[in-house]
Amino acid sequence: MLSRVASSLYWMSRYVERSDGILRMLKINYASAQDTIHEFTWDPVIRISSGGNEQEIRLMKNDSRKVVEYLLFNRNNPNSIINIITLARENARSVQEHIAKDLWQCLNEYYHTVKDPKLLGYVQKDDPMTALDILIRQVMLYYGTADSTMERGEIRSFMSIGKYLERSIQSIDILDIKFISINNNPDLLTDTSYWKHLLLSLGGYELYLKSYREGFSDENVLELVMLNSDFPRSARYSVNNIQRYFQRLKSEKNIDHYNGLSFNIGKLNSNITYSSVHTIKQEGLHNYLVNIRSSLYGIGNLLNEYYFANL
């Protein structure tokens, strides 16, 4: 497969996954902002999911509608949904003959949905939740279509690697920011709604309730998000999948590159698999997360160099 094609498939997939993460987080935080007696702060959400500048963020003054509008539609915010879906679609367009027609049409429709003025109307005047639900539905359609139409081969491997790499980075970022807030404000440790929203925005609330009967504790949350091998948004599950799809790319032609990258992915996977809440705490959570994140970025860089021919 052409390197450019592999790169486009990988980025298409990363952008769609990123939009999924941002939308879910937005939805939960919006709901949370409607349901709090304390001053709700959008600050962590904006820091995780936008690359916008400080001034623009100050101007929004924590106004929920404005924040949602900014994260969905602002062209100056490089991670706004409209920007990343435009990029996902451009990537898909340039590899149209490699992806299923249904998948292209699905992504095309997602793009046109984001651009629909009705959606902006929901955010500015009516119920912003409706807009978020409509968009989340588009992502789900995309994943369903990808799953049922894409051939199982190199194409899907690159798409999956992109998806799980993006997902693991997101989970780690969310965890990191939420735990930093606790360091600054230890009262949050015992705040049930704080944990509830963290878990909801990662889609792990129900699994948490089923797995841990003794209520919310920071250690259990950490275990679920980092180490649970059955939770689809945990770091462990995502890295497992990166390894699984990467192994399918094995070819004698570029065995050195394959081995090099395989080593890195394997090392990261072992690092997570053989960690426990106890060892993570010993190392310091923030340090641990920083290390994992830099390993993930390292994998992205090697893919770029070895497989996408971008030196």
Partner 1 sequence: MSEINLNNYKKIHETWDEMYVSDKKLRNQYQNILKYLKNESANDLNKKEELAKRLFMSQGITFTVYDSGEGIEKIFPFDIIPRIITASEWDFIEKGIRQRLKALNLFLKDVYTNQFILKDKVIPAQLVYSCPHFLREMHHLQVPHDIYTHIAGIDLIRDYDGTFYVLEDNLRTPSGVSYMLENREITKRLFPDLIPQCKVRSVTEYPAILYRNLLALSPRAVANPTIVLLSPGMYNSAYYEHTTLARLMGVELVEGRDLVIDEQKVFMKTTTGLQQVDVIYRRVDDDYIDPLVFNPGSVLGVAGLMSAYRKGNVAIVNAVGNGVADDKAIYGYVPEMIRYYLNEEPLLKNVPTYSMGNRDEREYVFGNIQKMVIKKTNGSGGYGMLMGHAAGQEEIEAYKREVMKDPRNFIAQPTISLSSAPCYIDGMLQPRRVDLRPFALYGPDGISIVPGGLTRVALKAGSLVVNSSQGGGSKDTWVLSNDTN
| 152 lines the binding site for partner 1 (CB under 8 A) | no
Query: How far is it, in rounded angstroms, from Cα 276 to Cα 141?
Result: 36
Residues touching partner 1, count (CB under 8 A) = 21
Question: Which residue's CB is nearer to partner 1, number 115 or number 281?
Answer: 115
Per-position x/- string for 51-90, each x denoting binding to partner 1 as judged by CB under 8 A, each - no binding: ---------------------------------------x
| CA dihedral for 234, 239, 240, 241, sign (positive or negative) | positive
Instruction: Return all residues near 182 (Cβ < 8 A) that are at least 6 apart.
Output: 188, 189, 218
Q: How far is the CB of 3 from partner 1 (least distance, A)?
A: 4
Q: How far is the CB of 153 from partner 1 (least distance, A)?
A: 12
Question: Which residue's CB is nearer to partner 1, number 101 or number 267?
Answer: 101
Q: For partner 1, which stretch binds (CB under 8 A), given 23-31, 132-140, 170-178, 249-257?
A: 249-257
Q: How far is the CB of 22 from partner 1 (least distance, A)?
A: 22
Determine which residue in the list 154, 173, 191, 305 makes contact with partner 1, applying CB under 8 A: 154
| 93 lines the binding site for partner 1 (CB under 8 A) | yes
Task: Report the candidate in 226, 212, 132, 232 with the shortest Cα–Cα distance to residue 178.
Answer: 226
| CA dihedral for 10, 14, 17, 23, sign (positive or negative) | negative
| 148 lines the binding site for partner 1 (CB under 8 A) | no
- In angstroms, what CA-CA distances link 253 with 8, 157, 297, 307, 308? 22, 17, 25, 12, 15
Q: Contact at 8 Å (CB) between 28 and 197?
A: yes
Query: How far is it, in rounded angstroms, from Cα 22 to Cα 28?
Result: 10
Per-position x/- string for 158-197, each x denoting binding to partner 1 as judged by CB under 8 A, each - no binding: x---------------------------------------
| Count, residues in the chain | 311
| 1 lines the binding site for partner 1 (CB under 8 A) | yes
Instruction: Return all residues near 133 (Cβ < 8 A) that are at least 6 apart.
Output: 27
Question: Can you give the binding site for partner 1, defined by CB under 8 A?
Answer: 1-4, 6, 90, 93-94, 96-97, 104-105, 154, 158, 249, 251, 253-254, 307-309
